[in-house]
Amino acid sequence: MPLALVLPPRLTASALTLRDTARLRGLDTVRLTGREVPEGLRGRGAHLHAGPSFADAVAPALGIAPLEAPADWLARLPAAFVRREIRAVPIREAYELRRPAFVKSPNDKSIPALVYADGSRLPGPDAVDPETVVLVSDVVAFDSEYRLYLLDGRIHTGSRYAVSGRLSLAPLSAAARAFGSELLAAAGHTLPSAIVVDVGVTDHGQWAAIEANAAWASGCYASDPDRALDVVLRAAGPAAQLAERDGAFVRGAA
């Protein structure tokens, strides 16, 4: 029985592309109608492409180990790779901000990624656990942004996805690939074997890491879909096939 790529009820353009690519590869594709996992899929050996909340609901029943970067990964990078101050703190500390800052959840969208005028504008303790970790960053504008699909410490594919904050798809530039390779040489060991990292050029002309994203929840933009699928399959595959080095990067493992 071929492996299955499991998809959520609502399919993005990237999910459709990856579904078609998986079918060409001979994989079954299963589009769930809700968050209940059919008995026939349990223990079968499946992979997943879906958003974080859907993954949290179905991955355990599917026996899938979704990989993601550590919550504080971006904050721990050397300054030369981020070009701004970034802290990973409980949101209760972020409430004390008295200046504009870019604040987001590290690995999902529970705290909207926005520039907040100050900490009082963040979702309050009635809506969010005060211990929820957020990334607090200086406000930086990016002239161009690129997505890198990483597999086993190398750039497997990628593309440009934005110019001046607007969607703009184009092939991966040589400069983006060079910066990504430099970043991997310095910090690749701090990431799972399959992950997406976004990088870009600031409005001051400096290359910087933007964020890390779970490959199983990321849009592939103009990346090679077959090579993007390689990364997705590794990033959210059967827990029984999990490499030892990736054990620390399974979502919810801590």
Interatomic CA distance for residues 221 and 225, integer angstroms: 9
pTM for the model: 0.94
Question: pLDDT by residue (tens digit) across 72-119?
Answer: 999 999 999 999 999 999 999 999 999 999 999 998 888 999 999 999
Question: End-to-end alpha-carbon separation of the chain, Å?
Answer: 33
Question: pLDDT by residue (tens digit) across 185-242?
Answer: 999 999 999 999 999 999 999 999 999 999 999 999 999 999 999 999 999 999 999 9
Strand, helix or coil for residue 99? coil
**What stretches of 2-106 show up as alpha helix (H) in DSSP?**
13-24, 52-62, 73-76, 79-82, 91-94
Please check the confidence at residue 25 and state whether its pLDDT lies above 70.
yes
β-pairing, 4-7 with 28-31? Answer: parallel
